[in-house]
Amino acid sequence: MNVVDKIITALRGGVSEAGEAIVDAQALRILDQEIRDADSELKRSRDSLASIIARQKLAEEKAARLRGTIEEHEGYARKALAQDDEPLALEVAARIARLETELAGEDEAARGFAASADELRAAIRGAEDDLRHMKQQVDVVRATEAVQRAQESVSERHGGTNAKLRTAMDSLERIKERQALRAASGRAARELADEAVGCQSSGGQSLDARLEAAGIKPADSSADAVLARLKKRD
């Protein structure tokens, strides 16, 4: 198989798969249409059965009339024979023969219609049973489909909710992390500022303290102290 044939085969396979996917997606709709078609066929079959039964009844009614006519003419023939009018009796007998032939045809037609009606009636009953079973199965399939779709919808919403919750938790953690970093930065800045101020103030105080301790800087700068210092110079 060359490359072109392989491509054509692959395309045919893809079309077949697409067709099967469409059929699967529309399975319930197709089943509903097939059931409607079957209902229509059953209606036509019932109409046909009614027509056959009507023909059977007409044949039976005609056969019953023919029997009455035959019986009536048999009476005519007997009366003609009683009057020794054999030619008239023979003519009546000829009519009776034609009526009997017609009666045999109507009886045969009635029996044929009856047999056809029985066969069609049995076929209709079987088709009705099959269709009833099919409708029950479709109802079960439709209910199952509805339940499964509901379950899928719930699962999708649950999965979406979990994903949203995870996203919200991640955002919350990032916010907390930024806040903690900002707080830590603020504390560090305050500590640095306190250290700078502390160094300046504590540095001056410790120098004065050391000068006073060494006797280099007088601890008391009052007027008496200044006067005493000046007297010592003299």
pLDDT of 43-52, one tens digit each?
A: 999 999 999 9
Q: Has this prediction a pTM greater than 0.85?
A: no
72-125 pLDDT, tens digit per residue, is 999 999 999 999 999 999 999 999 999 999 999 999 999 999 999 999 999 999
Q: What angle do CA 5, 9, 11 make, to 5 degrees?
A: 115
pLDDT of residue 186: 74
Is 231 part of a structural domain of the chain? Answer: no
Is 167 part of a structural domain of the chain? Answer: yes
Report the domain count for the chain. 1
Q: How far apart are CA 119 and CA 124, in angstroms?
A: 9
Is 186 part of a structural domain of the chain? Answer: no
Within 10 angstroms of residue 135's Cβ, the number of other Cβ atoms is 15
Is 97 part of a structural domain of the chain? Answer: yes
- Domain span at residue 138 reads 45-180
145-193 pLDDT, tens digit per residue, is 778 777 777 666 665 556 666 777 777 787 778 787 887 777 777 777 6
Residue 206 identity:
S
Please report where in the chains the tokens 């992390």 appear, as a residue.
Answer: 177
- What integer is the mean pLDDT of 11-18? 50
pLDDT over 90, % of the chain? 36
Asked whether 110 and 60 are in contact (CB, 8 A), the reply is yes
Is 75 part of a structural domain of the chain? Answer: yes
